[in-house]
Structure formats: structure tokens, C-alpha cells
């Protein structure tokens, strides 16, 4: 390898390393803050990047014992699973129909569906409050299960439309020539090839469910029905008192599993976005 190529590769690795450290800094800061005592955290004379006082587990005990964090986590998991199921069941046939069966109207309808996703939640939560109240699910996790698909389904339908366009029509025709019905051809050929796109829908829906705040705050007031995004902020911010270490612990316990989920399916997740973007 000549000096020019070695220098270019060194610059590339140095830049990649810098951005990797930059991206990891929030996680590192959260982990560092979790185990700090108040005297260590709030003393301006101390080095903020070191443990000047002995580390403590008291902040984690505060989070788990003095708040309903485990209940928030359970509610979030239930909502995420149900929203993912509803979104996948609705978007896969919708995207396929708009791509394969709607003809020249499919593209326009897909864009129209995507535009629904762009409407700000602050404009929708007032009319949705009436819907939630009429269905008698206010102040329960079912309000979020009902509302969240209203913005996961439009975006994910548009996303899968681009992905389905990247799948050749020939493989379905060949399956039907071999004797399968259209439904059988879709199940045997299209769905297996569409796994990256479907996983993208799953990851997007889970991430959106875990960080959504406006609807969860508007529709739920009881602590035992709150999700993490609202429950943590209302339990650990009391007036002008911020329990920073416990807040960081709550954030880390959520962020680390999500980061692991992204990394496990990173290749398929990128494929789901890029194929849909290139072919759509």
C-alpha cells in the first residue's frame, strides 16, 4: 500500500473514530452520571468526568423503588407490541395493494397517505381527545394503542410502497405459473423478500412508541397507565427539583435496548430504507 492510500485510509478511520466517539458520548455521560452522588454532581470545583466521591447505587434504587418505573416500562412494552402488530397487519396489504393493484392511482394515493404523517401532533390531539373520550379509553394505555397507529401506518405504508416497487413482478408471476394463488404467491415470494422492509417498519414503530410524548401526556394522567416518556418526566421532575442521576438511569435503561435492537438489525434496517428510497 503506497503512502497516498495509507494516508487516505488513516484520515477515513480517524474521521470514523471521531464520529463514533461523538455518538457514544451521550451514553457514556449517562452511565457516568448515574452513579454520582449529589455532592459530586453539583460541586463546580470537581472534575465532571471523574468520580470525585465514591460511586453510589442510590440513584438506581430511587428510580426503581420510589417511582413506578417498572410499570412505565411494562406499559411501554405492551403499547409497542400492539402498535407494531397493528401497523404491520395494516401496512403490508395496503402498501402491496397501492403498489401492485392500484395502477397509476397508487402513487398519488401513497403520497396522500404520507402527507397525513406530516400533520403535526399538536394539531391533532384536540380532535383525537374527543375520539378517545367517546370510545371510553381515556386515561388508559388503550388510548395510545388506538392513536399511535394513526401516524405509524401512513409513514410505514409509504415506506413499504417504495420497497415493494423494488421487488420484480416476475417472481410473483412465476409462482402463480407454478400453481400458487395470488395470496400464496405473495406469502411464498414477496413476504420473504420484504423482511428488511418489514423490520424497518417494526423498528420505526417501536422507537416512535417509546419516545412519543404529546399524545401520552394528553391522554393519560394516572401513573399506573403512563409510558416511560411521560412517567419518568412527571415522577422525577418535581417542581424545580430535577433528579438528574435517576433521570439518566431511566434514559439509559431505555436507550441501551433500543440501541441494541438497531445494531442487531442494522443491515436489514438500512436495506429497508435505501431500497425503498432508490426504487420508490
Q: What is the domain-level CATH number for residue 89? A: 1.10.3720.10
Q: Are residues 168 and 35 located together in one domain of the fold?
A: no
- Residue identified by cell 388503550 is 142
Q: Are residues 73 and 114 located together in one domain of the fold?
A: yes
Q: Are residues 122 and 177 located together in one domain of the fold?
A: yes
- Of the three residues 39, 56, 73, the one that is the final residue of a domain is 56
Q: Are residues 16 and 66 located together in one domain of the fold?
A: no
- Of the three residues 13, 34, 56, the one that is the final residue of a domain is 56
Are 202 and 86 in contact by the 8 Å Cβ rule? The answer is no
What was the pLDDT predicted at 278? 44
Q: Are residues 195 and 213 located together in one domain of the fold?
A: yes
Residue 247 to residue 232: CA distance in whole angstroms? 7
Q: Are residues 76 and 190 located together in one domain of the fold?
A: yes
Q: Are residues 26 and 141 located together in one domain of the fold?
A: no
Q: Are residues 145 and 232 located together in one domain of the fold?
A: yes
What was the pLDDT predicted at 269? 60
Other Cβ atoms closer than 10 A to 35: 18
What was the pLDDT predicted at 81? 93
Q: Are residues 15 and 142 located together in one domain of the fold?
A: no
Q: Are residues 128 and 250 located together in one domain of the fold?
A: yes
Boundaries of domain holding 10: 3-56
Q: Which pTM value belongs to this model?
A: 0.80
* Overall number of domains in the chain: 2
Q: Are residues 108 and 147 located together in one domain of the fold?
A: yes
pLDDT tens for the chain, 280 residues long, are 567 777 778 888 889 889 888 888 888 888 899 999 988 888 888 888 888 889 999 899 988 888 899 999 899 999 999 999 999 999 988 888 888 776 667 667 777 777 777 777 777 778 888 888 888 988 899 999 999 998 888 888 888 887 787 777 777 777 788 777 878 887 888 888 888 788 888 888 888 888 888 888 888 888 889 998 888 888 888 877 888 899 899 888 887 777 777 777 666 666 555 554 444 4
**Ramachandran bin of 50, using left for φ above 0, alpha for ψ from -120 to 50, beta for the remaining angles:** beta
Q: Are residues 29 and 116 located together in one domain of the fold?
A: no
For the chain, the helix, strand and coil percentages under 3-state DSSP, each to the nearest 5? 80, 0, 20
- Of the three residues 56, 74, 96, the one that is the final residue of a domain is 56
Amino acid at each position: 500500500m503506497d503512502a497516498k492510500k495509507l494516508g487516505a485510509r488513516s484520515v477515513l478511520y480517524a474521521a470514523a473514530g471521531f464520529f463514533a466517539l461523538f455518538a457514544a458520548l451521550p451514553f457514556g455521560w449517562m452511565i457516568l452520571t448515574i452513579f454520582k452522588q449529589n455532592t459530586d454532581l453539583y460541586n463546580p470545583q470537581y472534575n465532571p468526568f471523574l468520580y470525585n466521591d465514591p460511586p453510589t447505587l442510590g440513584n438506581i434504587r430511587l428510580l426503581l423503588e420510589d417511582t413506578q418505573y417498572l410499570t412505565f416500562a411494562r406499559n411501554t412494552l405492551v403499547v409497542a407490541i400492539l402498535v407494531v402488530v397493528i401497523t404491520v397487519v395494516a401496512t403490508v396489504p395496503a402498501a402491496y395493494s397501492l403498489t401492485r393493484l392500484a395502477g397509476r392511482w397508487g402513487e398519488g394515493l401513497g403520497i396522500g397517505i404520507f402527507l397525513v404523517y406530516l400533520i403535526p401532533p399538536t394539531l391533532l390531539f384536540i380532535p383525537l381527545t374527543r375520539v378517545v373520550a367517546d370510545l371510553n379509553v381515556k386515561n388508559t394505555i388503550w388510548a395510545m394503542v388506538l392513536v399511535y397507529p394513526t401516524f405509524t401506518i401512513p409513514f410505514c405504508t409509504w415506506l413499504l410502497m417504495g420497497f415493494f416497487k423494488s421487488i420484480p413482478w416476475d417472481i410473483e408471476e412465476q409462482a402463480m405459473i407454478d400453481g400458487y394463488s395470488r395470496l400464496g404467491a405473495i406469502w411464498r415470494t414477496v413476504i420473504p423478500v420484504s423482511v428488511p422492509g418489514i423490520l424497518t417498519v417494526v423498528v420505526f414503530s417501536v422507537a416512535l412508541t417509546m419516545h412519543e410524548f404529546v399524545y401520552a401526556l394528553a391522554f393519560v394522567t394516572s401513573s399506573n397507565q403512563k409510558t416511560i416518556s411521560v412517567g419518568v418526566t412527571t415522577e422525577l421532575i418535581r417542581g424545580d427539583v430535577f433528579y438528574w442521576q435517576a433521570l439518566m438511569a431511566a434514559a439509559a435503561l431505555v436507550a441501551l435496548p433500543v440501541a441494541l435492537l438497531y445494531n442487531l438489525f442494522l443491515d436489514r434496517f438500512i436495506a429497508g430504507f435505501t431500497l425503498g428510497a432508490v426504487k420508490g
